[in-house]
Amino acid sequence: MDPLRILREAIKAVPAIKFALAVAGISAVVAIVLGFKIKPEIAVFGTLIVLGLMFVLVVFTIYADPSRTTTTRFTTRPAIVLVWFYTLAVMVATTLLMTSYFAGWPHNFGHSTPLLEVNKTLPIGSQAEMFVSGIVVEEGTNSPIAQATVLFVGETGIPPYITPDTGNFHISVSPAVRNHELRIRAMKAGYQTREFPLSPPADNVVMQLQKQ
């Protein structure tokens, strides 16, 4: 028993069954949309686009068929409208794409700053995040010191940092203190406290603590 054969015979006997197949197809699409957790509005919008493209395909197929010696107003006028529509759409899309890429309008992408503004310099004290990083080691052996506290003296806005087993520290500081002289301190029980001036940003800072 061939299910496809039975379906063909049923459609031949009752042509209206093909509409039931269309309903079943729509139900399958709904099940797929829900299964992949796609937003319903996106699915509806995509369906409208597919239907529109199907209409375009049908019109152009009829209009470009070499076996047709004549064309009706029903097929000629839509074809002309579609040709002009897509010609203008491509022109507008290309223009907006180029202005977006090279001038940053109406949407800036491809560059962090538009190419027409590459000569503009960022102001001092920009909002880019800065860091002070380094390592706390034992004086004489250069062994990393874990659980040491690293902080900036008098800077309540910068929380203290506790070093891990590697002794490294990586502290985020405000751009407002760029190139300002701060005092960084490292301390741990059993060691003498070490403190010296430092101007953020800075990396590879080595803080040596001497045992008491």
Residues 201 and 143 in one domain: yes
Residue at which a domain ends, from 53, 83, 113: 83
How confident is the prediction along the chain (212 residues), in pLDDT tens digits per residue? 566 677 677 767 767 666 666 666 666 666 666 666 666 666 666 666 776 777 777 766 766 666 665 555 555 677 677 778 877 887 888 888 788 777 777 776 554 444 444 444 444 444 567 889 999 999 999 999 999 999 998 877 788 999 999 999 999 888 877 778 889 999 999 999 999 888 888 888 999 999 98
- The whole-angstrom separation of Cα 152 and Cα 142 is 22
Total-model pTM? 0.40
Contact between residue 180 and residue 110 where contact means Cβ atoms under 8 Å apart: no
Task: Please name the residues in contact with 58: beta carbons below 8 A apart, sequence gap of 6 or more.
Answer: none
Three-class SS of residue 184? strand
- The whole-angstrom separation of Cα 178 and Cα 167 is 25
**What pLDDT is attached to residue 189?**
92
In a domain, 155, yes or no: yes
Residues 10 and 78 in one domain: yes
In a domain, 105, yes or no: no
Tokens of 83: 């040709």
Domain tally for the chain?
2
**What pLDDT is attached to residue 101?**
72
Residues 78 and 139 in one domain: no
**What pLDDT is attached to residue 143?**
93
**What pLDDT is attached to residue 70?**
57
Can you give the residue range of the structural domain that contains 181?
Answer: 130-209
Q: Which helix (H) or strand (E) holds 206?
A: strand 202-209
**What pLDDT is attached to residue 184?**
92
- The whole-angstrom separation of Cα 36 and Cα 151 is 50
Residue at which a domain ends, from 24, 55, 83: 83
In a domain, 40, yes or no: yes
**What pLDDT is attached to residue 108?**
65
- Label residue 59 exposed, middle or buried (CB < 10 Å: 0-12, 13-18, 19+): buried
Residue at which a domain ends, from 23, 56, 83: 83
Per-residue burial over 5-31, b if 16 or more Cβ lie within 10 Å, else e, is eeeeeeeeeeeeeeeeeeeeeeeeeee
